[in-house]
Amino acid sequence: MVAFFYSIKYRTLNLTIFAVMNGIFLFIGGPEIFVILLIVVMLFGADKIPEIARGLGKGMRQIKDATNDIKREINESAKNQGIDTDFVKDINSEINEVKDNIDDFTGPIKRSR
């Protein structure tokens, strides 16, 4: 928890990376999820929960399919226009190279917590 507050105070750019790596998503923990589930059971009843979950799953799948279709259409139109779409791979390789250089430079340094 101390590292989390340190990350907020001094490394605002790394907050998202820290949160994803340590399993903190939207600052919801186990007890909060339990309370939310309890409220859902009280409101809808145990019989309706599978139907609700199925509906949410279908909705999420439709959204994913729609975004994949949009991405595919954008890539196809870019290829038809002769636009190079491989620049993302170049950027990612440069970012990974910089990360490796930083890790090599700061590797032996250990921060006290």
Among left, alpha and beta (phi > 0; psi -120 to 50; other), residue 56 is alpha
* pTM exceeding 0.75: no
- Write the single-letter amino acid at 28: I
% pLDDT > 90, the chain: 27
pLDDT tens for residues 11-36? 444 444 455 445 555 678 888 889 98
- Write the single-letter amino acid at 96: N
pLDDT tens for residues 32-48? 889 988 998 899 888 89
